[in-house]
């Protein structure tokens, strides 16, 4: 059963496009490095959904193979490198893990 890691972010004032591009590059590099991480995508909300986004500027969806991979993902050095800049870029985040029965 895949596990979906969903995170919503609010950008801090002054975050530059270059900082976001670097953060996105680091996020994409985790795929293939972290066992069990199938995919990871980041993006701002679609224009049509901005009014419902409640002020969140960016979203992330990571797909892991199984629930046991969550612990591997959370402790992996590539993930820790990715998490370190978050307080400098984002003022608020909502972090969820969901498993769906298929």
Q: Average per-residue pLDDT in the chain?
A: 87
b/e 43-79 (16+ beta carbons within 10 angstroms → b): eebeeeeeeeeeebbbbbebbbeeeebbebbeebebb
The length of the chain, given as a count of residues = 102
The pLDDT tens digits of the residues spanning 63-73 come to 999 999 999 99
Does residue 9 carry a pLDDT above 70? yes
The pTM for the full model equals 0.83
**Mean of pLDDT values over 5-24:** 89
**Mean of pLDDT values over 27-36:** 94
Rounded Cα distance between 15 and 12, Å, is 6
Chain centre to alpha carbon of residue 27: 7
| Domain range list for the chain | 3-99
Whole-number CA gyration radius for the chain: 14
* Predicted local distance difference test score (pLDDT) of residue 71: 92
For the domain covering 3-99, report its CATH number.
Answer: 3.30.70.100
* Predicted local distance difference test score (pLDDT) of residue 100: 61
- DSSP state string for 27-48: HHHTTTTSTTEEEEEEEPPPGG
């Amino acid at each position: 059963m895949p596990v979906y890691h969903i995170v919503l972010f609010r950008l801090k004032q002054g975050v530059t496009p270059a900082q976001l591009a670097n953060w996105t590059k680091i996020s994409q590099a985790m795929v293939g490095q972290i066992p069990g991480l199938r995919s990871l995508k980041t993006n701002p909300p679609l224009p049509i959904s901005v009014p419902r986004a409640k002020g969140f500027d960016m979203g992330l969806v990571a797909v892991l193979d199984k629930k046991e991979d969550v612990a591997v993902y959370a402790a992996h050095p590539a993930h820790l490198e990715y998490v370190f800049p978050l307080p400098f870029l984002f003022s608020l985040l909502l972090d969820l893990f969901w498993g769906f029965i298929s």
